[in-house]
Amino acid sequence: MAKKLYVGNLPYSIGDEELNKFFSAIGSVSTATVIKDRYSGRSKGFGFVEMTSDSDVAKAIEALNGKDLDGRKLVVNEARPMEERRPRDRNNY
């Protein structure tokens, strides 16, 4: 079963394809997504990579966590499930 990795402290110049290629050197990647600001379209500096096997996930965490990429030390760990957020009250800014 595929597991999702959180990848933090990404250089802002990295896109989905570059992230995919970077992790493909470790193992088989299902998806690689850099999270972008919805208004500016600029990277937020983090993303998610889904790998096809648990052994590839373990190898990626061991090999890439703390690794330097374009002058930034990556943070790579297993992604946690998204927490539910309470609805916003749009009347009170």
Rg over alpha carbons for the chain, rounded to the nearest Å, is 15
Indicate the number of domains in the chain: 1
Give the pLDDT confidence of 37-69 residue by residue, as tens digits: 999 999 999 999 999 999 999 999 999 999 999
Domain membership flag for residue 33: yes
CA distance 11 to 85: 28
For the entire predicted model, the pTM comes to: 0.86
Here the tokens at position 20 are: 């995919």
What CATH code is carried by the domain that includes residue 24?
Answer: 3.30.70.330
Number of H helices, E strands in the chain: 2, 6
DSSP designation for 88? P
Give the residue numbers spanning the domain of 28. Answer: 3-78
CA distance 16 to 4: 15
Domain membership flag for residue 84: no
> What pLDDT is attached to residue 92?
61
Domain membership flag for residue 88: no
